[in-house]
Amino acid sequence: MPSSILKDLKAAVIEGDSEKSMDLAKLAINSDIPPLDAITIGLAKGVKEVGDGFSRGEVFLVELIMAGDAMKAGMTVLLPLIKASKTDIVSQGMVMIGTVQGDIHSIGKDIVGTLLETEGFEVINIGEDIPSDTIVEKVKSLKPDVLGLSSLLTSTMPMQQDVIEKIKAADLGGVVKVIIGGAPTTQEWADEIGADGWAGDAVSAVSLVKQLLES
């Protein structure tokens, strides 16, 4: 029963069915499925599948947006329970996330932010289509431990490199760890541009942040 609910949650996101996503999230809670499992094994896997399809040109933008909306609908049910159970946890660190200039996509970034919050991190989501200079200035003023840069379009990937170069030029390389993500990005690209890490999905991003801060 629990595994079938998780599969149905994933399917609801792939179908872009927000109402079904909310109903299944409630069913997951009533079936004693841990809310974090419902997110990571159900909702997040659905969004990842749609996102991968979009990067291959097999899924339309409207389908990606609908999947994101379905994910958010399920999260409205699950996230309050997770946050309520984490009230006494000391902050694990500050993570600033944003989508680079020229790219307005928010789904992947927002999922990463949500999962980081559930793990006790303070998350500052600066939004989408953010100029490199603005990101650098926010790093200077807010002093996050980790900066996450998202890009869903191949054409905006160079802006990730631009931010990293400006971070280093401002002598902030030793202050903040920079990680990248987004459907067209790879570990090879991260190595090429001098990022501190790359994550292929939201769950991996959380593990990467923990690893960087522990080291």
Q: What is the pLDDT of residues 126-183, one digit of tens each?
A: 999 999 999 999 999 999 999 999 998 899 999 999 999 999 999 998 889 999 998 8
Q: Computed over its alpha carbons, how large is the radius of gyration of the chain? A: 17
Instruction: Give the per-residue pLDDT at 117.
Output: 84
Domain 94-214 is of which CATH architecture?
3-Layer(aba) Sandwich (3.40)
Model confidence pLDDT, tens digit, residues 83-109: 777 655 567 899 999 999 999 888 788
What are the structural domain ranges in the chain? 2-85, 94-214
Alpha-carbon distance of 57 to 90, in angstroms, equals: 42
Crossing angle between the packed helical segments 157-169 and 132-142, to the nearest 10 degrees: 50
**Are the C-beta atoms of 118 and 36 separated by less than 8 Å?**
yes
Alpha-carbon distance of 148 to 197, in angstroms, equals: 9
**How would you label 35-70 residue by residue, b for 16+ Cβ within 10 Å and e otherwise?**
bbebbbbbbbbbbbbbbebbbeeebeeebbbbbbeb
CA angle at 185 for the pair 115 and 202, rounded to the nearest 5°:
10
- Cβ atoms within 10 Å, residue 144: 22
CATH 1.20.1050.10, domain 2-85, yes or no: no
Whether the per-residue pLDDT at 45 is higher than 70: the answer is: yes
8: its two tokens? 């149905």
99: its two tokens? 């989508």
